[in-house]
Chains A and B, each alone.
Chain A
Amino acid sequence: MKELFLVVHSLCTGFYTTLKHIFRGPATELYPEYKRPLPARSRARIILTVDPDGRERCVACYLCSAACPVDCISMQAAENPEGRRYAAWFRINFGRCIYCGLCEEACPTAAIQLTPSFEHADRDILKMVAEKEDLQVDHCGKDPNYNFYHHAGVADAIRPKGGHVNESPPVNVRTNMP
């Protein structure tokens, strides 16, 4: 008897709960009319950021393209006049991208970052293929301080050997003479 009561009671509670929702009103936000501000870390369109000193962060190390599970990133590394490794070209096929963010995690220089901007669908598949110019921005993105070349330990036109964080001056053949 008590069991029957329990069954009826729980059934009624269930029906009452669903009924209550009818009068609660919808929680829906109508998308194109209202655009919810997304958190900075939400993952959509990919950008290539710059160092705090305004230089390209990307060193074309191929780690993002290796991490990419759908092979949508391709690039060619080269050396620029400052002696830095950079991407001669850098292409992301957004038609393939699944916005998983693994490229951002793989990036050792904080260059490649995902942004909340997601409205770039297109019917022309070629318009979804972004080249380096389309990806580059002039800010540091989510990491405003990191500068890979302060720590790298490789010499370039800006920073000589021994000029990086926590380095002693360079040794050469002559300084080794007794």
Chain B
Amino acid sequence: MMPNLIIDNKKIRVAKGTRVIDAAESAGIYIPRFCYFAELGAVGACRVCAVKFIDGPVEGIRMSCMVEAEDGMVVATDDAEAVDFRRHVIEWMMMNHPHDCPVCDEGGHCLLQDLTVAGGHGIRRFAGKKRTYADQYLGPLISHEENRCIQCYRCSRFYQEYCGYTDLGVMGIAQRIYFGRYKDGVLENPFSGNLIDLCPTGVYTDKPSRYTGRRWDFERTTGVCTTCGLGCSIMVSARYRQVVRLEAAFSRAVNGAFICDRGRYGFSWVNSENRPRQGRVAAKAMAPQKAAAAAAGRLDSLAEQYGAGAIAVAGSGRSSLETLAAWMDLCRRRSWRGFFFDDLAAAPAAPAAVSGLSPENVVSMKAVESADMILAVGADPLGEAPMLALAMRQAWRAGAKVFAIDSRDLEWPFEFQQVVAEPHEIVDLLSGIEPENEIGGNAGKHAGKMAAIQDQIRHSRFPVILCGTAIVDQSTALAAAGLVKRLRKNKKDTRLFYTLPKANTFGGLLLDHRVQPPDELIHAMESGEIKALVAVESDLWQNCTDRDLLERALNGLEFLCAADCMATELVSRADIVIPVSSVYEAGGIYVNQEARAQWSAPAHAGGTPVRITGAGGHPPRVIGSAIPGGDMPGAWQAAWQIAGLAPPAGPGEMLEWMTKTYPVTAPVKTMAAQGVRIFPLQ
């Protein structure tokens, strides 16, 4: 039964079990809160969400986060008594709050600040002393300023309950309640950055961007995290032509309200002084367009000399879908040797993710939280896709059983049972799991544990099979898909989840399933078949295991051109460098491991950061509307420039071109805020 209630004279119908504070929000009525956070649940600690229950099962002032909506409730948020109550709550919170908003980085987006102003509190009436706290060193990422604390318990609840780490918590009694570590030290939790977003005031603030600016000065937009294959939503803040801070952006389907620290802090390359910002032709700096033209000339003459087959392109999954499409198409049209996909070195099993997933068995990361049985094979979420580990923990908290088949020494923030098996053994173990029969195959010494897994799958309602792509090979990944298929045939709603190394590994394989792994490229370079290489946002060094071989191969090249926004090893060796704008400047479409294509909007127009042009001091004293370093092309535009052609006029035309050239990408034209899933055309 769905309860009907009245809040502020609005009739509202909500699902059973909805809290009044959420019921009000669904009707557009925002009830103030400090401690309540949907993902963390309610504790009723801050007392600021007090509302007046006028009629119904309960009456009087109650905390709206602690009361579930019931039939017949009549609630007034603006009742004089409730307003007065809330005003007093804020006033006594401010009794000990320091007078440091001007020097606090939270100022400007501080919940406490907003509600204090909203509550009308201005002058501290209490004449007594303010309590103070000694602060702690919590590592290089988070500043601690405990004076500002209002004891909402969000941090300790998130840290210990939601994430399962115990080195930060609450200590003390009465006036001396202290939130911190047992001693100074780096936080162990790989999701600790969320404390910054969660803290309703400035106890935890972002250390790398300390004092960089106020939120109102930032150019803010939602983007897609490009650190791993999950495609979490992030909020990008940029100011003075540099990315200041990444925060979690709420995404109902992917990451919920949080992101991991890797995603949050893994962007410093974009502001780096070493980042290629000028075109370079044989150590001579020039405009990017001129460098591209020079590269076009060299490629033409090399093609004439050695044939088009002597030219190759190396790309990677950190490029946007547009970039990958543009360069793959260029490769094809010019009959070059081929497009070599760097991600295949990091994740040899990745092509299976594209062939194994289907609209039926795909599962979003948020939905993993509702699984009641998770089997992870050859996957280490905490290392490969950290937010997945958090989603698995939520499933575990709700009662799910977690199993792992892996050879590594895994450490996850929840309980799980591991079958220690070498990667090559996993295929057999997976194909042995049968929905109805006894455990088959040759499980060997793992037979007992595998039987338990099979038993658990049989008794579960919504099992999810997690498969890594890094340490296992294609056959294992396909075996995982086969298992899911078998279970689904047996009317068991089983879902499949692959982890992928890069934001667009899926996208690259989606465009062309036959892209070649970099090993072949390196061998062809070494044998002299390939004379010229264009590396587009790819660094062969990163995933190469035999660096001597790579060294020899690169020395054998006649011409190396790098189009990149990162200062990679290849960029430093390249004969011609074409600097391209980053995802934060050009935007782009990224397809995550569950085939979800999402648009990452550009946060700013690009250009050399003011920090660099001003050399740390004030910006140069010149007048003009040109952006210094603002002439970098997007990586997809460079594909046309290097072919000596004019690129599509803008992102709109580019999208038009892409969907026409690669019909598989057609669904992106109807992309919603939550993205759209793209599967290979049958």
A/B contact in complex, CB under 8 angstroms: yes
Is A61 located at the chain interface by the 8 A CB criterion? yes
Q: Given known contacts A76-B213, A172-B178, what 17 new A-B pairs fall within 8 Å (CB)? A: A60-B211, A62-B213, A76-B212, A76-B611, A89-B617, A109-B102, A153-B130, A154-B98, A154-B147, A166-B127, A166-B128, A167-B132, A171-B132, A171-B176, A172-B133, A172-B134, A176-B178
What 4 A-B pairs come out closest when comparing CB atoms?
Answer: A153-B98, A89-B618, A176-B172, A61-B102
Is A126 located at the chain interface by the 8 A CB criterion? yes
**Interface on A for B, CB 8 Å cutoff?**
59-63, 65-66, 76-79, 84-85, 88-91, 108-109, 125-126, 129, 131-132, 148, 151-155, 161-162, 166-173, 175-176
The docked-state distance in angstroms from the alpha carbon of A26 to that of B328 is 84
Q: Size of chain B's interface in residues, with CB distance under 8 A?
A: 47
Residues of A within 8 A of B101 (CB): 61, 108
Nearest Cβ distance between residue B515 and chain A, in whole angstroms?
44
The docked-state distance in angstroms from the alpha carbon of A35 to that of B473 is 87
Is B290 located at the chain interface by the 8 A CB criterion? no
Nearest Cβ distance between residue A154 and chain B, in whole angstroms?
5
A169 and B132 in contact, given A62-B217, A88-B616 (Cβ under 8 angstroms): yes
Residues of A within 8 A of B172 (CB): 171, 176
A171 and B211 in contact, given A61-B107, A88-B617 (Cβ under 8 angstroms): no
Residues of B within 8 A of A162 (CB): 132
Question: CB-nearest residue of chain B relative to A172?
Answer: B134
A168 and B130 in contact, given A77-B212, A153-B99 (Cβ under 8 angstroms): yes
Nearest Cβ distance between residue A132 and chain B, in whole angstroms?
7
Determine if A65 and B100 form an interchain contact, defined as CB atoms under 8 angstroms apart: no
Determine if A153 and B617 form an interchain contact, defined as CB atoms under 8 angstroms apart: no
Point out the residue from B98, B145, B178, B212 that lies within 8 Å of A173, measured CB to CB. Answer: B178
A108 and B132 in contact, given A62-B214, A62-B217 (Cβ under 8 angstroms): no
The docked-state distance in angstroms from the alpha carbon of A132 to that of B214 is 20
The docked-state distance in angstroms from the alpha carbon of A112 to that of B135 is 30
5 A-B residue pairs with Cβ-Cβ distance under 8 Å, sorted by A, are A88-B617, A161-B134, A173-B178, A173-B182, A176-B172
The docked-state distance in angstroms from the alpha carbon of A173 to that of B611 is 39
Point out the residue from B103, B129, B171 that lies within 8 Å of A168, measured CB to CB. Answer: B129
**Interface on B for A, CB 8 Å cutoff?**
98-104, 107-108, 127-136, 145, 147, 171-173, 176, 178, 180-183, 210-214, 216-217, 240, 610-611, 614, 616-619, 621, 623
The docked-state distance in angstroms from the alpha carbon of A59 to that of B105 is 12
Nearest Cβ distance between residue A102 and chain B, in whole angstroms?
15
The docked-state distance in angstroms from the alpha carbon of A97 to that of B181 is 48
A154 and B145 in contact, given A61-B107, A167-B130 (Cβ under 8 angstroms): yes
A77 and B133 in contact, given A152-B100, A153-B100, A154-B100 (Cβ under 8 angstroms): no
Determine if A161 and B618 form an interchain contact, defined as CB atoms under 8 angstroms apart: no
The docked-state distance in angstroms from the alpha carbon of A7 to that of B104 is 70
Determine if B214 and A85 form an interchain contact, defined as CB atoms under 8 angstroms apart: no
Residues of A within 8 A of B616 (CB): 88
A161 and B210 in contact, given A76-B240, A154-B103, A154-B147 (Cβ under 8 angstroms): no
Residues of B within 8 A of A78 (CB): 211
Determine if B171 and A173 form an interchain contact, defined as CB atoms under 8 angstroms apart: yes
Nearest Cβ distance between residue A85 and chain B, in whole angstroms?
4
Determine if B213 and A161 form an interchain contact, defined as CB atoms under 8 angstroms apart: no
Nearest Cβ distance between residue B171 and chain A, in whole angstroms?
5
Nearest Cβ distance between residue A19 and chain B, in whole angstroms?
54
Nearest Cβ distance between residue A81 and chain B, in whole angstroms?
14
The docked-state distance in angstroms from the alpha carbon of A86 to that of B127 is 30
The docked-state distance in angstroms from the alpha carbon of A108 to that of B113 is 15
Nearest Cβ distance between residue A30 and chain B, in whole angstroms?
36
Nearest Cβ distance between residue A171 and chain B, in whole angstroms?
5
Question: CB-nearest residue of chain A relative to B211?
Answer: A77
Question: Which of A84, A126, A162 has the most chain B CB atoms closer than 10 A to its own CB?
Answer: A162
Residues of B within 8 A of A90 (CB): 618
A79 and B211 in contact, given A161-B134, A161-B135, A166-B129 (Cβ under 8 angstroms): yes
Residues of A within 8 A of B145 (CB): 154
The docked-state distance in angstroms from the alpha carbon of A69 to that of B317 is 45
Residues of B within 8 A of A169 (CB): 132
Nearest Cβ distance between residue A75 and chain B, in whole angstroms?
9
Determine if A66 and B216 form an interchain contact, defined as CB atoms under 8 angstroms apart: yes
The docked-state distance in angstroms from the alpha carbon of A162 to that of B131 is 8
The docked-state distance in angstroms from the alpha carbon of A170 to that of B146 is 10
A108 and B210 in contact, given A168-B129, A168-B130, A170-B134 (Cβ under 8 angstroms): no
Question: CB-nearest residue of chain A relative to B184?
Answer: A173
The docked-state distance in angstroms from the alpha carbon of A161 to that of B617 is 31
The docked-state distance in angstroms from the alpha carbon of A79 to that of B623 is 29
The docked-state distance in angstroms from the alpha carbon of A171 to that of B158 is 23
Determine if A59 and B103 form an interchain contact, defined as CB atoms under 8 angstroms apart: yes
The docked-state distance in angstroms from the alpha carbon of A125 to that of B99 is 39
Determine if B135 and A171 form an interchain contact, defined as CB atoms under 8 angstroms apart: no
